Amino acid sequence: MKPDPDQLPDNANDAQSFQAPPDTPERIAELIHRVAQKDRQAFALLYQATAPKLLGTVLRILRDRGWADDVIQDSYLKIWQKAKQFQDGKSSPITWLVSIARNGAIDELRKHPAGRTTNSDELDEMPGRQTSAQEQLEDQRAANQLNHCIDQLEKDRQDMVRLAYLNGWSREDLASQFEQPVNTVKTWLHRALKQLKRCLES
């Protein structure tokens, strides 16, 4: 059954019922600044524009819809409160938003590790560099540079970085998958991160 759009609450309706302007980083940044001024309409628009991205990120880490929904709710309340801390020069807007949600998801996972299990299928789900056409338009240069730098890592370390960042794997999860002591994993991660930093700065 399709809900009658007229029955939806006003601000949920707005962004769903007509074509919103493209979600450029500039528009997202502007919405965050308006949210900082306690603008509820901007908050609804920001949610419409970004919630699918944040939910995708959190769900991939927690693999449980109800759990992910809780973290998303928590994240948007944090966004409401922290919006005034957002600084254009220091963060790209979508990264800033995704980071708040990722942090919430990983905090949850580390505190309740029994909530999900990792499995080697997730390794096969590492597609490398699939992005939607729209996302490819966004700042392609930087994306390519990060992927270029990740490509220079040894294969195992490429997978480790992606499994950790995208799927929320802990040092222990990685240690058991790659059959290495936890301290070795930590050393590998540090080397990989340093190598990435150097490569991105070059």
Partner 1 sequence: MTERDDLDMLVAEFVLGTLPASERAYLESRRNEDPEVDALILQWEERLGKLAEETEPVQPSPALFAKIEKALDRVESTPREAAETSNVVALRSQLNRWRWSTAIASAAALVLVAILAFQPQPEPQAQSFVAVFQNNDEQPAFLLTVDLKEQRLNIRPVTAEPRPGKSYQLWIKADELGPTPRSVGVLGNDFALDEGALSNYDPALLKEATFGISVEPEGGSPTGQPTGPAIHGYLYPTDGNN
- Asked whether position 166 contacts partner 1 by CB under 8 A, the answer is yes
- Asked whether position 14 contacts partner 1 by CB under 8 A, the answer is no
When the beta carbons of 21 and 127 are compared against partner 1, the nearer one is 127
In whole angstroms, give the CA distance from residue 153 to residue 194: 11
* Cβ atoms of residues 83 and 33 within 8 Å: yes
Using alpha carbons only, what angle is made at residue 180 by residues 177 and 182, rounded to the nearest 5 degrees?
95
135-147 in b/e form (b: 16+ CB < 10 A) is: eeebeeeeeeeee
* Cβ atoms of residues 115 and 169 within 8 Å: no
- Among the listed ranges 7-15, 24-32, 115-123, the one in contact with partner 1 (CB under 8 A) is 7-15
- Asked whether position 123 contacts partner 1 by CB under 8 A, the answer is no
- Asked whether position 42 contacts partner 1 by CB under 8 A, the answer is no
- Among the listed ranges 26-34, 115-123, 127-135, the one in contact with partner 1 (CB under 8 A) is 127-135
- Among the listed ranges 26-34, 106-114, 116-124, the one in contact with partner 1 (CB under 8 A) is 106-114
- Token pair belonging to 150: 């990740």
* Cβ atoms of residues 178 and 156 within 8 Å: yes
When the beta carbons of 95 and 119 are compared against partner 1, the nearer one is 95
**Which of 41, 170, 176, 180 is close enough to bind partner 1 by CB under 8 A?**
170
Total chain residues near partner 1 (CB under 8 A): 79
Using alpha carbons only, what angle is made at residue 101 by residues 98 and 106, rounded to the nearest 5 degrees?
120
**Which of 17, 119, 147, 152 is close enough to bind partner 1 by CB under 8 A?**
147
Hey, which residues between 43 and 102 contact partner 1 (CB under 8 A)? Answer: 43-44, 47, 51-53, 55-57, 59-61, 69-74, 76-77, 80-81, 90-92, 94-96, 98-99, 102
- Asked whether position 36 contacts partner 1 by CB under 8 A, the answer is no
* Cβ atoms of residues 174 and 185 within 8 Å: yes
Residue type, 8: L
CB of 177 to partner 1, least distance (A): 13
In whole angstroms, give the CA distance from residue 83 to residue 74: 14
